[in-house]
Amino acid sequence: MSVFVVEGPNRKNNSNKPWREPPEWSDEAYSKLKKLLVDYKPMREANVSAANILLVGQIGAGKSSFFNSVNSIFRGKITSKASSGSFEHSVTTAFRKYKIKDFTSGKFLNFRLCDTRGFEDEFEIDLHEISFILDGNIPDQYQFNPMVPMTSDSPKFMKDPDLQDKIHCVAIVVDGSTVDVMPEKVRKQLKDLQVILNLRNLPQVVLMTKLDKVCPEVEEDISNTFASATISKAVKTVGEIMGLPRGHVFPVKNFEKETKLNIGAGFLLMDALKQCLDFADDFMDGQLDKMDSEGKRTREKTGYMCTLS
Ligand SMILES: Nc1nc2c(ncn2[C@@H]2O[C@H](COP(=O)(O)OP(=O)(O)OP(=O)(O)O)[C@@H](O)[C@H]2O)c(=O)[nH]1
Ligand SMILES: [Mg+2]
């Protein structure tokens, strides 16, 4: 029996060939995907208790809402822990490394969603500060100050982070309904960000949000997502803008007007999350290879010890 009240989706007999293999849209498949995320553990050798997924992107793209939506799935009801909304400047002002609890088992999940201040036209994001986040130098709850970005001399700067503190996968959040009119300055900041991600071999996915605003048929019924030519086109455009394969672009619909969990939206959110975790494992694996080749990893009685310098 379902432990939550489910709204939709009402499957339509859509004869279009899907542009990507859709999920099974059943309660059973939903529970299976959810269990997979609950059971997720970072690869043992990495000695990391939780994978860190960084949410970055333009203000209002839906970063905090993505966290709230994922948190809601595991809480079994709509929650709104992170402030979200539309404002001329970023609603999120602090760096947060959110833990998520699975309400069924009472256990914390082995990944964290890291929420950041949004990119805006007016304030250029400080690339050093972003690098510090990626490398684990910035603590949870750090208050961003666009006028005075963090430096390695700041009192809160964490000097000796290890693999556990680093970001393991980056999810670039893009509002699918406004991607065509993304301001040039924001587009440039995203490109600059990608340069520093590529330097670190950090895996990237794009969460293309606000599907409901991109296609009316999807707003009516989210199970039309993979049959919608409009969504397919938007995914292609986002992939081209970000210079990433289409397979790295995940269409999602955050919970915003909903008062109950929606199984269809939940599928898309969890599917995107699963990809982030698979990529996070790839990154950790790559880091271990790097440490091996640099002779920075030693096997101890209790398992692997990783040291970074
Ligand atoms: N229709 C719709 N609205 C959404 C969706 N995701 C987010 N929103 C709305 O978009 C607005 C901005 O969402 P936030 O989650 O605050 O965006 P953010 O990226 O965290 O923004 P900053 O913290 O300001 O950088 C809010 O009003 C949300 O309710 C979505 O998938 N569909
Ligand atoms: Mg936010």
Average pLDDT over residues 76-99: 91
Measured from the alpha carbon of residue 63, the closest ligand is 1
Cβ 262 under 6 angstroms from ligand 1:
no
Residues 6 or more apart in contact with residue 126 via CB below 8 angstroms: 146, 149, 150
Is the pLDDT at 12 greater than 60? The verdict is: no
Q: What percent of the chain has pLDDT over 90?
A: 81
From CA 90, how far away is CA 112, in angstroms rounded?
A: 21
Ligand 2 centroid to Cα of residue 89, in Å, is: 10
Ligand 2 centroid to Cα of residue 91, in Å, is: 5
Measured from the alpha carbon of residue 65, the closest ligand is 1
Cβ 84 under 6 angstroms from ligand 1:
yes
Ligand 2 centroid to Cα of residue 262, in Å, is: 22
What is the C-alpha R_g of the chain?
19
Tens digit of each residue's pLDDT (9 = 90 or more) over 109-148: 999 999 999 998 877 788 999 999 999 999 999 999 888 9
User: Can you read off the two tokens belonging to residue 71?
Assistant: 């948190």
From CA 281, how far away is CA 109, in angstroms rounded?
A: 15
Instruction: Using the structure block, give the residue that is written with the tokens 């920075």.
Output: 296
Is the pLDDT at 29 greater than 70? The verdict is: yes
Provide the pLDDT for residue 306: 46
Cβ atoms within 10 Å, residue 161? 16
Q: Of all helices (H) and strands (E), which one includes residue 252?
A: none
Strands 297-300, 96-102: pairing kind? unpaired
> Which protein residue has the closest C-alpha to ligand 1 atom 16?
84
Is the pLDDT at 309 greater than 80? The verdict is: no
Ligand 2 centroid to Cα of residue 236, in Å, is: 25
| pLDDT band at 292; cut points 50, 70, 90 | confident
Domains and CATH numbers, the chain: 27-306 (3.40.50.300)
Tens digit of each residue's pLDDT (9 = 90 or more) over 221-253: 999 999 999 999 999 999 999 999 999 999 999
From CA 210, how far away is CA 212, in angstroms rounded?
A: 5
Cβ 51 under 6 angstroms from ligand 1:
no
Provide the pLDDT for residue 305: 47
Mean pLDDT for all residues in the chain? 90
Tens digit of each residue's pLDDT (9 = 90 or more) over 280-289: 999 999 999 9
Average pLDDT over residues 273-301: 86
> Which protein residue has the closest C-alpha to ligand 1 atom 28?
85
Average pLDDT over residues 64-68: 98
Tens digit of each residue's pLDDT (9 = 90 or more) over 166-212: 999 999 999 999 998 999 999 999 999 999 999 999 999 999 999 99
Cβ 209 under 6 angstroms from ligand 1:
yes
| pLDDT band at 87; cut points 50, 70, 90 | confident
Is the pLDDT at 4 greater than 60? The verdict is: no
Provide the pLDDT for residue 128: 93
Cβ 120 under 6 angstroms from ligand 1:
no
